[in-house]
Structure 1
């Protein structure tokens, strides 16, 4: 199993690059980071941790921004863009860093066990010094309402402290003081999961610098990929994100040239699936043979940012409520018993319909699951509301409560009174779209399995028809996201259409939606002309050149997951 493998640790960059993909000149970034670390901290880094961002090729909102709320699988892939953290244990410093404007308390804190001096190559982020406090458990101040860059560093540190430096973990030892320097090429707020990559890289850096990668006090195998995913999931909750694990799994478990089939029921699991047409060779602009098509993904940033906190009640939180209430109502109409205060999911309803024994802990055969999804796509018509006199779609809150079979008080307690890491979990809608949301979830879950099936049966190199088949599934997904789940936006819809007009096999939004990026499947030989066409057609890109353009639209190949590098810079 991929999750049981150890975290890769390389001793030279050649071995690391061989597995990464080559559309980005990684060596320049790594060398620049190492040299800058020497400049700022007067010694070489002992370790550099890497964690990539990811694209969601197909997904069912199963790994929601707040909770797991459908439990169906998804199909992400790690990208080449990543977060790098250089770090080294620190001896007592007798003079301030040349980059530090702080004196006094700052210097004193640097001498404390477990203290951290964190710097960022990006000029807009200031130097931070912090010291964990040991009470009943380790504590670090994180303001979840104002997410600063160092909050993600602190979040990664939390898990290492509380898993390895407590009496319960069999340790009364103390973490080492650490200097670290961060750089990243994953655009923030773009839907490519820069936050998960930051937490994974931070967790890995603190594990390595404290000598815990091979520690067997937590696991007989030491730190495995699966254990790192679990720890990173737990750590990211510290910044107010109750993550379902998909982003972390993609960042940690991915292998070069492959995507992941991530399943959440009955437990989190991830299976690498080779992607037809992808390769670890460099992107070539020369014409490719029509008999041997090669393909890459191109990510294009819409430059629209959806503020999760501002829009949660009408977007993220609302979809959670709609899908969970849809599951209860559908179960009721199929005569499936559900506990009064049980938040049954659409995946669990399917399992009950198919006679699945969730308590047995066995994954459902994927062939049976596909058959079940086809059946549920028919059954979901039971949720279709009657046509309204005012022409509006959906059901009112009063109608939704009546359909649920619950009293108003119990309904509000179960579905409208949650609390998450950011406070209350409010929703706002005149009409709730139970039918449309459930229809998207079931059809998208089927597309995920169909995409997986096409990849597994494809030859290498694939035929043109295989890439077109994958592209069609991506296009169908975007149509459903836009019309049924309504998580797209005009700019994303425009970028998707421009991508198809420019020759993409398929294109769709990636991430949670309402902004961020699109991902398009492109013939490798057409990347340069494709990007040129999008630049000339999409208004916000006009006038961008060079690195500015490369920041918003770029090609990527499926990358390997999180890793570390030890000895190259010694």
Structure 2
């Protein structure tokens, strides 16, 4: 299993990338990073950590409900070069001089503080009040200021460093070792807010580089690194479900990942039907609308994409979008379990997920019996999709007078008071469980629509997985061009259904993404959908490999924001990708 493999350390780029032509192409960039590091710090780096971005082929906004997802790593990535600080100065233990290859970001210097016992007690109290950042974090001795209201590039560096400090440099350890002073240089090719997991890649690379330079990589398994990276990213104010970090770390060349989170993390490598006679690739297309998942202001990039069009729109509002959806899905799980008379064991102050509701619906204790077989899980999802209708406002006993006559979709949802009443909790209990750790804003809450999307999207992931497996298994059995084309069309149909659900039920699309997915389908894609959190960012389209260049030109001709781009700019906003390898550390000799 991928999660049980050690984090790889390479000394040769050919071995790291497993593709000679790609390694040669990347080698130029790595040389530039090494030379710039030496120019700035007076010596060559000792390590370079690489963490790729990812595309989620299908399975949007279901990882934090603990359902399986289907991402793949991509070529675009974050690189961080590092070396122990060496000069006549003697900086404090753990001091970091952090530079960014993009010159518009000023160099930063920061030093972690080791808090005294009184400070620890105060910090533990604060952590209890901030469950989003401390849900799985032990009492800490180290502290660094991270401003969660802004997407500053160094905040992601600090977030990765934080986890290394508090897991590997405990003040109570008998050897009492100290983190060494470090110089780092950051570069990247992932545009922020594009839905390609730029923030997770940054945190993964940061975590890796501080582990490597402090000699803490030996024996570390990929699954443990995923857990650390998820924990670390919460420090910048994002309640991540874990898909982004797992995809960046666990991916393997030429395969997608079927990642499950319940009852524990598991990753299954799944080959994609991209072989002749009907080879296909995935094409990412950036809507050029930037989605800001964190409350407050945003820099245009967390590590240095400066040449994208300045007209990129920025959508902000974690309180009304990303974090709100997290709360709505957790409340939906509570209300659905209550309506179905399901008993779910959970600490009184911790919400449970829709995946745990499904487990209770099966009557299984999966912590003892292991994960449900995908085929059985699919049957269960089909069954519970009929039960989710009890979450309609009128079925819960609340008025519904704002109904779309064409689709019958509930638009008005539940007020806060109605949602609290449906949960069976007191107002204080409800707010303590669901709202004490996150800020949200809404006049009405859409628990029915969110639950329906999550269950139906989880089912589509399983259907996508099975189609890929069936196609791979039939390759040696006189597979015909027609049968492969049928598989690609079926995969495309699932992608299109996912986009429709994201737009109408989860409401995480936006006009630009709706337009771009429609254009890509009419330009020849088998299917197209948003990828990432939504509200901007990228689409992912399944396209015949022989038609990629023609496809890109047809999209450019019809999508307004692309029409004035030159060739270099166009290559950065729409590009084909195949599944790539996951994060690694490169040791310079």
The TM-score, its normalising length taken from structure 2, stands at 0.84
Residue 236 (structure 2) aligns with? 239
Aligned residues: 523
Q: Cα offset for 1:512?
A: 0.8
Residue 562 (structure 1) aligns with? 583
Mapped partners of 2:258, 2:53: distance in 1:
16
Residue 419 (structure 1) aligns with? 437
Alignment equivalent of 2:83, drawn from 64, 85, 88: 88
Residue 460 (structure 2) aligns with? 447
Q: Cα offset for 1:80?
A: 0.9
Q: Cα offset for 1:555?
A: 1.5
> Residue 151 of structure 2: SS of its match in structure 1?
coil
Q: Cα offset for 1:82?
A: 0.3
Q: What is the root-mean-square deviation of aligned Cα atoms in Å?
A: 2.3
1:315-394 alignment to 2 at 5 Å?
315-337=321-343, 343-360=351-368, 362-386=370-394, 388-391=400-403, 393=410, 394=412
1:39-78 alignment to 2 at 5 Å?
39-63=39-63, 68=64, 70-78=65-73
Alignment equivalent of 2:278, drawn from 293, 301, 309: 293
Mapped partners of 1:528, 1:2: distance in 2:
34
1:135-534 alignment to 2 at 5 Å?
135-136=115-116, 137-214=141-218, 222-277=219-274, 292-308=277-293, 309=295, 310-337=316-343, 343-360=351-368, 362-386=370-394, 388-391=400-403, 393=410, 394-397=412-415, 398-415=417-434, 417-420=435-438, 425-430=439-444, 432-459=445-472, 460=475, 463-534=484-555
Distance 1:170 1:520, change over 3 A: farther
The answer (yes or no) to whether the contact 1:55–1:79 under 8 Å persists in 2 is yes
Residue 535 (structure 1) aligns with? 556
Residue 283 (structure 1) aligns with? none
Residue 282 (structure 1) aligns with? none
Mapped partners of 1:157, 1:342: distance in 2:
28
Mapped partners of 1:209, 1:276: distance in 2:
40
The answer (yes or no) to whether the contact 2:60–2:532 under 8 Å persists in 1 is no
Mapped partners of 1:24, 1:298: distance in 2:
23
Distance 1:122 1:342, change over 3 A: closer
> Residue 356 of structure 1: SS of its match in structure 2?
coil
1:31-46 alignment to 2 at 5 Å?
31-46=31-46
Residue 100 (structure 1) aligns with? none
The answer (yes or no) to whether the contact 2:249–2:582 under 8 Å persists in 1 is yes
Identify unmatched segments of 5+ residues in structure 1.
95-107, 215-221, 279-290
The TM-score, its normalising length taken from structure 1, stands at 0.87
Distance 1:268 1:169, change over 3 A: farther
Q: Cα offset for 1:20?
A: 9.1
Identify unmatched segments of 5+ residues in structure 2.
117-140, 296-315, 405-409
Distance 1:13 1:166, change over 3 A: same
Matched, 1:128 2:88: no
Q: Which is further off, 77-86 or 337-346? A: 337-346
Mapped partners of 2:369, 2:436: distance in 1:
28
The answer (yes or no) to whether the contact 2:13–2:23 under 8 Å persists in 1 is no
Distance 1:361 1:49, change over 3 A: farther
The answer (yes or no) to whether the contact 2:524–2:551 under 8 Å persists in 1 is yes
